[in-house]
Structure formats: structure tokens, C-alpha cells
Amino acid sequence: MKSERVSPLYRRYVLGVLVLVYAANFVDRQILSILVQPIKEELGVSDTWMGFLTGITFALFYTIAGIPIARWADRGSRRNLIVIGLALWSAMTALSGLAKNFFHLAAARIGVGVGEATLSPAAHSMISDYYPPEKRATALAIYSMGIHLGIFLGYFLGGWINELYGWRAAFMVVGLPGLLLAVFVFFTVREPIRGSIERISDQQQPSIRAVLSFLSGLSSARHLTLATSYIAFAGYGAAIWTPAFLDRVHDMGTGEAGTWLGILTGLFGGMGAFLGGYLADKLSIRDPRFALWLPGMASFAAIPFAVAFYALDDVNLGLICAAPSLVFSAMYLGPSFAVAANLSSLRMRAMTAAILIFVINLVGLGLGPLVVGALNDALNPRFGVEAIRYSLIFVQALMLLLAGTHFFLGARTLSPDLLAKDNL
């Protein structure tokens, strides 16, 4: 097999660039959440339709495009794939600001979804070729911190730009810089040689059917998929509707809400993502099951703090409770994707990540915002503006409970399942 020398400094540089790209991904994806209320008021649509726009409209095309794109990533240049996707989703985000009606905006968000489907399967595969298994959870956790950096920027920039210049300008301001970032990635990031970090000879790419059959036969993979889907359901439902909750229940404007949510999500969510990966790498040396036990315990620990955030009438106490909730609920990211990579053979890593992301986004992003929006409309006749409070409490408590349960169920067979790829 070919080998290559990659300095630790360059390895960290590539990881840092991928964090920036992932942050741009989430800025463009999540800015819509801070703009839900002004868009809803201007376009005159219901919460259910806004849930449809922020969830299933994006998620359906994101997930459908993700499988063939991951097939490409396992076969061709992952770096080039990321560059193409970054340019596409950035351009479509900017075009969202030109939408004349709900359907124009939905079409632009579909374009954002297709573009963003290129990133994580390719990035996970590249990171797995830059970092060995014993450091992979930490590396993937650092990469996942891009989520919280992106949400921070989306909330903060979207909130204040909306107040100063309107929601259309917010889309354009956050979308256009991504085109420059795409050029930067193309000229400074190298495509790694597959398998070189583990000294594994290159392998034949298995078919999509073979990958699906292999993963569906692993109990740990099935429970991991369910657990991450449930926690994503809670997370996306909260990310989309919490700004509207602060507006309706606590009379907080988009600028103030974006500042608080951005700081909390960026700081404490990023902290949780890093800690989850770091602790999983350290503890998994003793027992690989810690990679699923840890996010399971964290999911259960997040429940009381998440419920308190929405239930308390004192918004300041609620925001204090949001901090530990964000730490615990983000701890699953690094361990979960590291387990997915470690369960996979060399040329199925991008496809495995894509399948996991497919289910996470179809269930979590596709249904989370939609279900919360529908619950808001259903409960509104009885609770009025307070309806959103009860919708979010119900979804958070139930989904985090289910997530924690399935992480522990998956841990039961993780050790033997990690050896299964050797017989694929």
C-alpha cells in the first residue's frame, strides 16, 4: 500500500479547516431558526408550515442526496466533493434572501440541503484517514464543534442583521463568504491516502446493499442509529423553535435571543462536544463500551435541565439551566461517529457516516421541527402563546429518554461488533 508522511501540524490544520467548513454549514442551515418569526409574519404561514420549511423540506433532499454523494466520497476525491458542496450551499443560502414567497424560499432551502449533504460523509472519511482509531473520537468531536460555532454565528449574526436590515439581508451576509472559503479549501487541503494512518491496504468498495446488510446485522449499529436519531429530534426541534419560544413567552427580540442562544450554544455545546470525544477516547481504552455508555448517561443527565429551561417563568434562571443541558446533549457527537467509523471497513466509512446521517436528519431534522410546529398549532386553542412551552418540554423529555436507553442497549454488543468488519 502507499504511505504518506503527514506532520501533526498539518493534520491539525486540516481538522481546523474542516471545523470552519462545518461551521459555515451550520450557519447556513440554522440561520433560518432565528428568522422563523419574521419570515412567518411576512409570508403569512402557520407554525406547521414553518416546521415543514425548517425541517422536512431541507432534510428530505439532504438525506436523499447524501447516499449517492457518499458513494462518490468512498470512491473519488473527498476534498473536491467538499469544495463543490460548499460553493453550492453558500450560493443557495444567499439566494434565499431573494425569495418572493414561501415556495421560492423552500426551493432555495432544497438547494442548501443538497449542497450540505456533501460535507460530513466526506469529512468523516478524511478525518479517519488523518487520525488513528485511538484519537478518532476526539478528532471527530473537535470537528463537531463546528456545529456549535455555526449555530452561535447563525443566531448572533442572523438575530442582529434581521433587526437592523431585515431577514433577507441576513441570508446574503452569511451565504456569500462561503464561496471564498471553497476556494481556500481547494488550494490548501490535500486529499489523504486511504488507510495510510492504519497501514491498511486499499480495499474494494462494497455495494450499498452490502453496507446496509452489514450494518443492519449489527445490534450496536441499529441502536446507535436510533439513539442518535432521537437526540437529533430533540436537538433540531429545540434549535428551530427556541428563538420563537423566547419571543412569544419572554418577549425577547431576535437580537437579544440570538446573542444569548449563540453564546450558550457556542460555548457550552462546543464544550460538551469536545468533552464527549475526549472522555470517550480515554475511557474506551479500558472498555470500548464507554463510547456508548458515556452519551447514554449524558442524555439522561440532560433531561431535567432541558425541562427546567422551558418550564421556568424566570428567563434568567432558565438560561442558566440551558448551559448544562447543552453540555450533556452535545456529548454524543464524537463518540457516536467514532463508533460508526470503527465499525466500518476502509471503503465504507463515508457510506456508513452517510447512512447514519441519513436517518439522523430524516428523523431528527425532518420531523423534529415539524412535530413541534404541529404541536404548537394543536395546543394553541387551549394554551395560546404558552403552547410552544409545552410542545418543547414534551419533545425534549421523551426524545432524550429514548436516546439514552438506546445508547445503553447498543453498548451490550459493541465489543464483538467491532470485530465483525474483519470478516466482511
Go through the domains of the chain in sequence order and give each one's CATH number.
Answer: 8-188+206-423 (1.20.1250.20)
Residue reference for cell 425569495: 99
More reliable by pLDDT, 362 or 79: 79
Nearest to 406 by CA among 231, 283, 212, 269: 231
Quote the radius of gyration of the chain (alpha carbons, Å): 20
More reliable by pLDDT, 28 or 238: 238
Each residue of 297-345: pLDDT tens digit? 999 999 999 999 999 999 999 999 999 999 999 999 889 988 888 887 7
More reliable by pLDDT, 231 or 338: 231
pLDDT of residue 201 exceeding 60:
no
Nearest to 306 by CA among 276, 254, 269: 269
Please compute the mean of the pLDDT values over residues 143-150 and round it to a whole number. Answer: 87
What pLDDT sits at residue 206? 66
Please compute the mean of the pLDDT values over residues 409-419 and round it to a whole number. Answer: 91
pLDDT of residue 352 exceeding 90:
no
Backbone angles phi, psi at 137, to 5 degrees: -65, -40
Cell, residue 380:
394553541
Contacts of 62 (CB under 8 A, 6+ apart): 113, 114, 116, 117, 361, 365
Separation between Cα atoms, residue 184 and residue 319, nearest integer Å: 37
**424 pLDDT tier (thresholds 50, 70, 90):** low
Separation between Cα atoms, residue 323 and residue 29, nearest integer Å: 22
Separation between Cα atoms, residue 23 and residue 269, nearest integer Å: 13
Separation between Cα atoms, residue 405 and residue 407, nearest integer Å: 6
Nearest to 352 by CA among 216, 186, 148: 216
**1 pLDDT tier (thresholds 50, 70, 90):** very low
Contacts of 287 (CB under 8 A, 6+ apart): none
More reliable by pLDDT, 60 or 408: 408
Separation between Cα atoms, residue 326 and residue 333, nearest integer Å: 12
Helix (H, G, I), strand (E, B) or coil at 330: coil
Please compute the mean of the pLDDT values over residues 189-199 and round it to a whole number. Answer: 75
Separation between Cα atoms, residue 302 and residue 230, nearest integer Å: 13
- Of 68-72, 245-249, 263-267, 408-412, the one with minimum mean pLDDT is 68-72
Enter the DSSP assignment of 80.
H
- Of 9-18, 80-89, 150-159, the one with minimum mean pLDDT is 150-159
Helix (H, G, I), strand (E, B) or coil at 206: coil
pLDDT of residue 130 exceeding 70:
yes
Residues in the chain: 424
**200 pLDDT tier (thresholds 50, 70, 90):** low
Nearest to 366 by CA among 3, 51, 5: 51
CA angle 339/341/346 to nearest 5° reads: 150
What pLDDT sits at residue 204? 59
Enter the DSSP assignment of 176.
T
* Helices 56-73 & 349-359 angle (0-180, nearest 10): 170
User: E strand or H helix at 257, and its extent?
Assistant: helix 254-264
- Percentage of residues in the chain with pLDDT exceeding 90? 41
What pLDDT sits at residue 337? 83
Each residue of 359-377: pLDDT tens digit? 887 888 778 888 998 999 9
Cell, residue 271:
464544550
Nearest to 281 by CA among 208, 338, 350, 352: 338
pTM: 0.76
